[in-house]
Amino acid sequence: MDKNVIKVVDEKTYYDQMHRIGFCVLGIAIIIFFAIPTIISVYFDAIPKFSDLLIAAGGLCAIFVPLGIAESFVEVPVMGSSYYISLVTGNVLNLKLPAAMNALKIANLRQGTPAADAVAGISVAVSALVTTLMLVVGVLLLTPLQPFLSSPVVSTAATYVLPALFGCLFLGMMSDDVGGGVVIHKRLLAAIVPFIVCIILYLIIPELYEALEGIIMILCIPMVYLISKKLYKKGVITVDMPEEATEAAEAAAE
């Protein structure tokens, strides 16, 4: 058999293989995450009571479980099967999602295609490797660079890194071009009503809003979908798609 022959698989086979690998990796990671604190607790004879765990985790679960569900609805369509890598390596919203979105933008690929899934996977994997490498370098140089890192100039500059990252991400999301030759005109109009609702809720009940942030995000997703569909049917939101995908998109919107 010629080793230079490239094996071509269909779309269903590709996604089945990626999800199978993702489930396996995620399962192993969950076992390791739970095994480390369990082993340490058993070794030092410091196993907490189950009731204490419920009390400690109750408040966190009330916030992060709905938030995690809402983020999954938003991030999975963009990241595809690379979401498995992101869940294991962490820092999804701050690093992995921007890396995947930027890669799709540069490659001019439409979300939800096997090509976009592969490119997003490569970008997320490279992002995780670079992050790990930078952490190793940072640990090795932490002591020599301590005077420099603790200087007022660097400390002030570091506070602008995250806002700058989200600023760039926000500007990219403002564009009508979503990649792959797909252009959605006036698509941000669908987010105006949910945005106003969230602002009003935050001004009226700020503490309850922060506690129920994840649930509010979940409720906003169908709201944006219904408004987008209504505006699309009225012709306010228009979509320019590659010729071969136009008929399928029109059928899906009916």
Which pLDDT belongs to residue 4? 55
Q: What is the pLDDT of residue 2?
A: 52
Examine residue 139 and state whether it is found in any structural domain, yes or no: yes
Which of 158, 180, 202 terminates a domain? The answer is 180
Q: Give the total number of structural domains in the chain.
A: 2
Coil, helix or strand at residue 175: coil
Output the pTM of the full model.
0.63
Tokens for 155? 């400390």
Give dist(CA 82, CA 172) in Å, integer: 20
Do both 163 and 204 map to the same domain? no
- The tokens for 216 are 């509010």
Identify the helix (H) or strand (E) that includes residue 238.
strand 238-240
Are 222 and 157 within one domain?
no
Which residues constitute the domain of residue 224?
Answer: 181-254
- Residue 237, both tokens: 């939101």
Between vectors from CA 192 to CA 187 and to CA 197, what angle results, nearest 5°?
Answer: 145
Task: Look at residue 1 in the predicted model and tell me its pLDDT.
Answer: 47
Q: Is 197 found in the same domain as 83? A: no
DSSP annotation of 48 reads P
In order along its 254 residues, the chain shows pLDDT tens digits of 455 555 566 777 888 888 899 899 999 999 998 899 889 988 898 888 888 777 777 767 776 777 777 778 778 888 888 889 888 888 887 788 888 888 888 888 877 788 888 898 899 999 999 988 988 888 888 888 888 878 888 888 878 877 777 777 677 677 777 655 678 888 888 889 989 999 999 899 888 887 777 778 778 888 888 998 899 898 888 888 765 444 444 454 45
Residue 121 and residue 99 share a domain: yes
Choosing from 133, 150, 180, the residue where a domain stops is 180
**Contacts by 106-115, CB closer than 8 A, 24 or more apart:** 107/179, 108/179, 108/180, 108/181, 109/179, 109/180, 110/178, 110/179, 110/180, 110/181, 110/182, 110/245, 111/77, 111/78, 111/80, 111/178, 111/179, 111/180, 112/77, 112/80, 113/180, 114/11, 114/14, 114/15
Nearest partner of 30 among 92, 95, 87, judged by Cα? 87
Specify the residue for token string 């809720």. 201
Q: Identify whether residues 196 and 172 lie together within a single domain.
A: no
